[in-house]
Structures are given as structure tokens and as C-alpha cells.
Amino acid sequence: MTPVRNHLIELLPELDRKRLLARCEPVPLVLAQVLCERGAPLEHVHFPLDSFISLVTHLDGHPGLEVGMIGREGVLGASLALGMPAVPLQAVVQGAGTAWRVSTCDFLVELARSQALQHYLHRFLYVRMAQLATSAACLRFHLIKPRLARWLLMSQDRAHADHFRVTHEFLAYMLGVRRVGVTVAAGALQRRGLILYHRGELQVLDRAGLEASACTCYATDCQSYTDTLGVPSFAARHLV
């Protein structure tokens, strides 16, 4: 059996955790795989392990824009705790890997049985709300380079590795900027020795330097997770 590496599941009491995992199956998530469309009913709930998922919004025919990210600190499908069977955003696999998957029907059974699961899902949703607000302000006021540094840190935290694959096109799509802007920002980070980027393969060389280059939104998001869920943020545990 795949070892439990999802922090939200780890927070559950042992009995609740075992019951939930008994209904789950480990599944591979493929890069760019669409897990759900905006407004469509959820067929499955996903708890990422070493994979991570982008939450993307679309407006008036414009290219999509990432407004959130879910990795092993959370779950895709938390809206079920509010009685909402769909998510308001498109969910796209940004980092390939594995996840625990459970059908919506089975998840609702466990949700009804476990007050702890309800409690932590509500708190996770609060974190998501705070992070969405931060993301909106970040997109409006912060420059591309610190935003890119923040995005790379968020991805590294959830990829559970210093290496991951990402293209210029995908970065531009996620950040809502032109490809040339990503090229300039990534080049600046690489010249400073913070990252190594070649043909879609990215390696974080200097984690501390990248944190210093990121906008304050990164630290704000991490602190929100710690304050709300009462455990060290996933960032602090990204190499655990």
C-alpha cells in the first residue's frame, strides 16, 4: 500500500484515517490532466501525495489563470463539506505523481461519520479562501520575478523534490503573463544561481535565495496554513 503522505489525512484520528483510506485507491495523475471542469459535478475526491493540482479560472475567452494550488497539504473536493457537489474552478494536474482517490459517494459516507474530517475540511477551506485573496492582490501588485519565485517555491513544496518539469508556455499560462516575461524572470533567477532551467527541466539550487527573492505572499500563505491547521506548514516540511 502507498504510504500516507497527505498532511490533511495525517491530521485525522487513527480510526477515521483508516476508514477513509480503506475507501481510497492510489492513482497516477498525469501532467496537464483535467480532473474536473468548472461547475461540473465531482465524481472523485483527490488527496495528492507527490502530485499537485492547479486551480484555474477562465474569463471572457481569455487564457486561463492559476489562482490556487493543491498538493499534499490538502484535497481537491473540499467543497463537499459545504454541501456543494462541484468546484467553481477548473482543476488541472500541474505536477505528475500519485494521489489517493475516493469516489464522491464513499467520501460523503465518511464525511458524515467523521467530525474530525468535517473540522479539518472547513479549516482547509478557510486557508483556501485566504490564499485566493492573497493571490488576487499578488497578481495586481507584484512583479513577475518575485511571483515566479513564489510559484517555484509552492511547486517545490508540493513536488517533494528539488527537480520538476515545467515549460515556459505552462509558466506563462499559470502566471497570466507573456512567454517572454517568464523567459526574462527565469533567466534572472538562473544568473543568480537560484535555479537551473533547461528544456523544461527545472532544479532549485538555492532554496533560501529563492525564498528571499519571492514576494511576501509566499510566507503569508505558509503562515495561514500553520495558524489555521495548527501544524508546521507544508513548506517547512517539504523535505520531510
Q: So what's the pLDDT on residue 160?
A: 78
The per-residue pLDDT for range 13-51, each reduced to its tens digit, is 999 999 999 999 999 999 889 999 999 999 999 999 999
On whether residue 2 sits in a domain, the answer given is: no
- Contact assessment for residue 145 and residue 155, using Cβ atoms and an 8 Å cutoff: no
Q: Which amino acid is at 144?
A: I
Cα–Cα distance between 45 and 67 in angstroms, integer? 19
Q: So what's the pLDDT on residue 207?
A: 95
pTM reported for the whole predicted model: 0.90
Domain boundary residue, one of 139, 166, 184: 139
On whether residue 229 sits in a domain, the answer given is: no
194 and 130 inside one domain: no
Q: Which domain holds residue 125?
A: 7-139
Per-residue pLDDT, averaged over 200-228, amounts to 93
On whether residue 111 sits in a domain, the answer given is: yes
On whether residue 237 sits in a domain, the answer given is: no
19 and 129 inside one domain: yes
42 and 28 inside one domain: yes
Domain boundary residue, one of 139, 172, 204: 139
On whether residue 227 sits in a domain, the answer given is: no
On whether residue 233 sits in a domain, the answer given is: no
On whether residue 1 sits in a domain, the answer given is: no
116 and 12 inside one domain: yes
Confidence of residue 234 (pLDDT cuts 50, 70, 90): low
Q: The CATH number of the domain where 203 resides is what?
A: 1.10.10.10
Q: 3-class DSSP state for residue 127? A: helix
Number of structural domains in the chain: 2
Angle at the Cα of 110 from the Cα atoms of 230 and 222, rounded to 5 degrees: 25
Find cell 516575461 and name the residue.
Answer: 181
The per-residue pLDDT for range 172-212, each reduced to its tens digit, is 877 888 889 888 999 999 999 999 988 888 899 999 999 99
On whether residue 153 sits in a domain, the answer given is: yes
21 and 118 inside one domain: yes
154 and 86 inside one domain: no
Domain boundary residue, one of 94, 121, 139: 139
The per-residue pLDDT for range 119-143, each reduced to its tens digit, is 999 999 999 999 889 988 998 899 9
Q: So what's the pLDDT on residue 235?
A: 53
36 and 97 inside one domain: yes
133 and 157 inside one domain: no
